[in-house]
Amino acid sequence: MALARPKTFLTGAGLVWRRQRVLWLIYVVTLLLAFLSTRGIVSRTAAVLDHSAEAEARLVHGFDLGAILELQEIPNSPLAGSNQIFTAPTVLSLIFWIFVTGGLLTVYYWDEALAFGTFFEACGEHFWRFLRLTIYFLIVMIPVGALAGVASALHARIDDKSVSPLTAVYFGVAAGVVILLLAMVARLWFDMAQVIAVAEEERAMHRALRRAAGLLARNFGSLFWLYFRISVVGTAVFSLALYFWMMIMRPEAIFKAAVLGQLMILWWIATRLWQHASEAKWYSEFRGMQSSRVPAPGQPLVSVPVDSPAVPA
């Protein structure tokens, strides 16, 4: 079994730092798309909340959940439609991530600073392949989503029939952990398929998925531990910043909250790129170890000196 080198975890972080132009490009485009997606709700809420003493007391100099609920219940609520998922900026953000993944994996796998023209050429070369991989990923996630629905129904039934409220809580935690692990394994599988498509110039995504599945099955502990550690570190730092924002920072510190929010978004993007960089580095080292074990044509598997006593006369 080929194991990742211990330095792969930190090497991926260093790779993201050295090639941080990719990080800033993604951050700027994401910020622009987020700005466009919030223009509607900003204009609607401004017409209701601007020049409102109650809004200033309950939302600016504090956070009152009741005020948010009252705002949702008024006729023609400005918050209506704010929970829609498939908006135009959201779809554009998904397409942009699919587009840019080919370029950033090329940068991380070869560890080279590409010119913008070469970078976008790599993005366009892998776009349609990764679009097909995204469709495959959505198909694979259908059973995971169905399992989550079944778990939710069972949780509600246990909560209704169980005498102790802790039974439903324990079941919900266990089901959530299992579903989360399944989703992480699926994400890791498709991540490695993307790396193989870039490193091996594989055009058939079904072959890339088969190779990635075999690679993940043979090296599951090494790859999942690498992916899991980065996820834990990223979630821990993000949760700590979110706790500081909600519990410690004063509500009227709007500028500080805006800066902290942007740093959280930047960290979350960097965490995802850290995963990509570590996976690409892992596969590069894996290929290097595999090629070093393959003998040259005509070379014996074990070379023994001619004058060695182990060689019979």
C-beta separation of 166 from 197 below 8 A:
no
For the chain, which residues score pLDDT lower than 70?
Answer: 1-7, 40-44, 46-87, 291-313
* 62 C-beta neighbours (distance < 10 Å), count: 12
Q: List the one residue out of 192, 89, 187 whose CA is nearest residue 140.
A: 187
C-beta separation of 219 from 175 below 8 A:
no
What does the alpha-carbon distance between residue 94 and residue 32 come to, in Å, rounded to a whole number? 14
pLDDT score for 73: 64
The end-to-end CA distance of the chain, in Å, is 37
pLDDT score for 165: 77
Per-residue pLDDT reduced to its tens digit, 101-127 = 999 999 999 988 888 889 999 999 999
pLDDT score for 298: 46
In the chain, where the domains are located: 8-290
